Amino acid sequence: MNVTAGAADQLRKVLITGVSRGLGKALALELAKRGHTVIGCSRSPDLLSSLQSELASASENKSNSNQHLTMNVDVRSNSSVEELARALVEKKAIPDIIVNNAGTINKNNRIWEVPADEFDTVIDTNIKGTANVLRHFIPVMVENKNGIIVNISSGWGRSAAAQVAPYCASKWAVEGLTKAVAKELPAGMSCVALNPGVINTEMLQSCFGSSADLYPMPDSWYSLSLSFPVHAPCVRNASIIFQML
Residue 239: partners with Cβ closer than 8 Å, 6 or more residues away: 178, 179, 181, 182, 183, 190, 191, 192, 193
pLDDT at 165: 96
HSE (side-chain half, CA atoms, 13 Å) at 134: 24
CATH value at residue 89:
3.40.50.720
Give the model's pLDDT for residue 53: 93
Q: In angstroms, what CA-CA distances link 143 with 139, 176, 189?
A: 6, 25, 11
- Any domain includes 95: yes
User: Which of the following is catalytic: 35, 64, 147, 167?
Assistant: 167
What was the pLDDT predicted at 9? 54
Q: Which residues of the chain have pLDDT under 50?
A: 1-8, 226-245
Q: Are 8 and 93 in contact (CB under 8 A)?
A: no
Q: Say what the pLDDT of residue 229 is.
A: 46
Domain count across the chain:
1
Q: What is the pTM of this model?
A: 0.84
Tell me if residue 189 falls in helix, strand or coil.
strand
Say what the pLDDT of residue 196 is.
79
Q: Which percentage of the chain shows pLDDT scores above 90?
A: 63
Domain membership flag for residue 2: no
Q: What does the pLDDT read at residue 242?
A: 32
Does some domain include residue 198? yes
Tell me what pLDDT residue 208 has: 66
Q: Which residues contact 2 (CB under 8 A, 6 or more apart)?
A: 227
Quote the domain boundaries for residue 231. 8-243
- Domain assignment present for residue 3? The answer is no
Active site residue 167: yes
Check residue 244 and give its pLDDT. Answer: 30
